[in-house]
Amino acid sequence: MPAGRRDPAAQSARRPPPLLPLLLLCVLGAPRGGSGAHTAVISPQDPTLLIGSSLLATCSVHGDPPGTTAEGLYWTLNGRRLPPELSRVLNASTLALALANLNGSRQQSGDNLVCHARDGSILAGSCLYVGLPPEKPVNISCWSKNMKDLTCRWTPGAHGETFLHTNYSLKYKLRWYGQDNTCEEYHTVGPHSCHIPKDLALFTPYEIWVEATNRLGSARSDVLTLDILDVVTTDPPPDVHVSRVGGLEDQLSVRWVSPPALKDFLFQAKYQIRYRVEDSVDWKVVDDVSNQTSCRLAGLKPGTVYFVQVRCNPFGIYGSKKAGIWSEWSHPTAASTPRSERPGPGGGACEPRGGEPSSGPVRRELKQFLGWLKKHAYCSNLSFRLYDQWRAWMQKSHKTRNQVGRTLPDSRRGTRDRPTPALAGEREATRIESSGSGDVLWGLSREGEDPVPRNPRPI
């Protein structure tokens, strides 16, 4: 062998043997290691008991090996040695065990009850199943995302935990005819759920139920009757964007796209928006969004970061009169309102595009604006864009007056604050004049003077 290389056989001999993993398995009649001349039996074998029951078990040794008697035997449960006072010798080869007021099994595959010889070797083992029969499954809910599949989930029951392995089967069939079918794709959206991927009929109600079985019994849920068209849902609306509305410090604009999964089907959708401030966990929900894909949040706090989410509910699919199921909320989208020196109302409402604002203060302000405009400008072609510029101009004027007031000397500030006859005649006026390039926003004018445009810009 070349120098520097080790003998593989010698290296293998020096390597320690691998550790055997500890497997919590139920050992049935395991022979004593190394003897092979005798066996032991635990009775009863693999019992199933209700919580709170008592158990009397025996370990009987067969054969006559030297030193193996009932006095040298002991019990373990899940690897822990049981106190000797729980055992009693019945005869030279039989050791009895009495357990009272049993708790639920620590593992659903059964607790390990093992009989040991004096030297600790395993003579026999038994699985001990202690638990509860299943209760009737409740709260079955189902939904479909493409009108070809169906996903359902349920709650195990009032107590839920049975301490035993419990099998749940989702069954379904057409209401008036057809045979029972069993769902096959389980745990798709949680531990108690199942997905039916195809072969479902439309315009025909289905009956759906869940059966639960374990070693102590079985239970069946109430039957849920549904039409696939009545349980349609969608993914959350994608591409949610939140932005400022010009210089308005109390509003944010929210826009989103309709879920693409149902664009090929005849349906309408209604939306909900919820929002919260950055340092809060409490969401405020806006319900009056209708079927629009844009909305304004009004009455917000200036200079504040808001998180916004949107969800969708389809309805009217193929003429169905029932609303669908709300989708999950979209991922949060953040935006901040402009800062302001004056406190905002701090309310919050939705101003749908093209509709009347739903906020009380905003509605009153808009009515004042429209009334003034009708009286002085005789303009019937109005828009939210014009209203936004009018509000932005008003807020800018308010800030300018505040800044001038702070920069004036104390000796002049009192005079400045008092209205003068010249300023008393000054009116804040907005006039619209149509031109080929669009509408122009005009500025202040005094009574008796021609209105002069100040920084005119297209609307």
Task: Give per-residue pLDDT as tens, 61-72.
Answer: 886 555 578 888
**Same-domain pairing of 239 and 279:** yes
Q: Report the pLDDT value the prediction gives residue 190, as an integer from 0 to 100.
A: 87
Q: Report the pLDDT value the prediction gives residue 390, as an integer from 0 to 100.
A: 65
Would you say residue 32 lies in a domain?
no
**Same-domain pairing of 81 and 168:** no
From residue 330, how far is each of 81, 85, 146, 222, 274 by CA, in Å? 55, 62, 19, 33, 10
Tell me which residue has tokens 């106190």.
83
Would you say residue 309 lies in a domain?
yes
DSSP-derived pairing of the beta strands 55-62 and 94-99 = antiparallel
Q: What are 111's strand-pairing partners?
A: 128
Q: Report the pLDDT value the prediction gives residue 362, as an integer from 0 to 100.
A: 60
CATH number of residue 192's parent domain: 2.60.40.10
**Same-domain pairing of 283 and 221:** no
Would you say residue 4 lies in a domain?
no
DSSP-derived pairing of the beta strands 206-214 and 284-286 = unpaired
The DSSP line for 349-388 is: EEEETTS----HHHHHHHHHHHHHHHHHT------HHHHH
Q: Report the pLDDT value the prediction gives residue 5, as an integer from 0 to 100.
A: 44
Would you say residue 29 lies in a domain?
no
**Same-domain pairing of 163 and 238:** no
**Same-domain pairing of 150 and 185:** yes
How many beta carbons lie within 10 A of that of residue 279, not counting itself?
Answer: 7
51 touches 100 (CB < 8 A): no
For the chain, report the end-to-end CA distance as a whole number of angstroms: 94
- Angle ∠(289,290,291) on CA atoms, nearest 5: 115
**Same-domain pairing of 240 and 271:** yes
**Same-domain pairing of 238 and 313:** yes
Asked if the bond preceding 16 is cis, omega within 30° of 0, the reply is: no
**Same-domain pairing of 267 and 309:** yes
Q: Report the pLDDT value the prediction gives residue 134, as an integer from 0 to 100.
A: 92
In angstroms, rounded to a whole number, what is the distance separating the alpha carbons of residues 251 and 95?
81
In angstroms, rounded to a whole number, what is the distance separating the alpha carbons of residues 137 and 353?
46
Q: Report the pLDDT value the prediction gives residue 368, as an integer from 0 to 100.
A: 62
HSE of 397, CA atoms in CB hemisphere, 13 A: 12
Task: Give the domain-ending residue among 294, 312, 336.
Answer: 336
In angstroms, rounded to a whole number, what is the distance separating the alpha carbons of residues 387 and 207?
55
Task: Give per-residue pLDDT as tens, 315-340.
Answer: 776 666 677 889 999 999 999 999 87
288 touches 310 (CB < 8 A): no
Task: Give the domain-ending residue among 216, 232, 248.
Answer: 232
State the residue range of the domain holding 213. Answer: 138-232
Q: State the total domains in the chain.
A: 3
Task: Give the domain-ending residue among 292, 316, 336.
Answer: 336
Task: Mark the ranges of the chain whose per-residue pLDDT is less than 50.
Answer: 1-25, 27-37, 344, 346, 352-358, 372, 375-382, 408, 411-459
Would you say residue 8 lies in a domain?
no
Name the amino acid, one letter, at 310: V
Would you say residue 307 lies in a domain?
yes
In angstroms, rounded to a whole number, what is the distance separating the alpha carbons of residues 362 and 344?
12
**Same-domain pairing of 60 and 117:** yes
**Same-domain pairing of 219 and 282:** no
**Same-domain pairing of 223 and 264:** no
**Same-domain pairing of 239 and 327:** yes
Crossing angle between the packed helical segments 360-376 and 384-407, to the nearest 10 degrees: 100
Q: Report the pLDDT value the prediction gives residue 199, as an integer from 0 to 100.
A: 83
Would you say residue 267 lies in a domain?
yes
Q: Report the pLDDT value the prediction gives residue 185, as an integer from 0 to 100.
A: 92
In angstroms, rounded to a whole number, what is the distance separating the alpha carbons of residues 289 and 270?
7
Q: Report the pLDDT value the prediction gives residue 268, as an integer from 0 to 100.
A: 75
DSSP-derived pairing of the beta strands 248-255 and 241-245 = antiparallel
Of the candidates 311, 353, 310, 308, the one whose C-alpha atom is nearest the C-alpha of residue 335 is 308
Would you say residue 79 lies in a domain?
yes
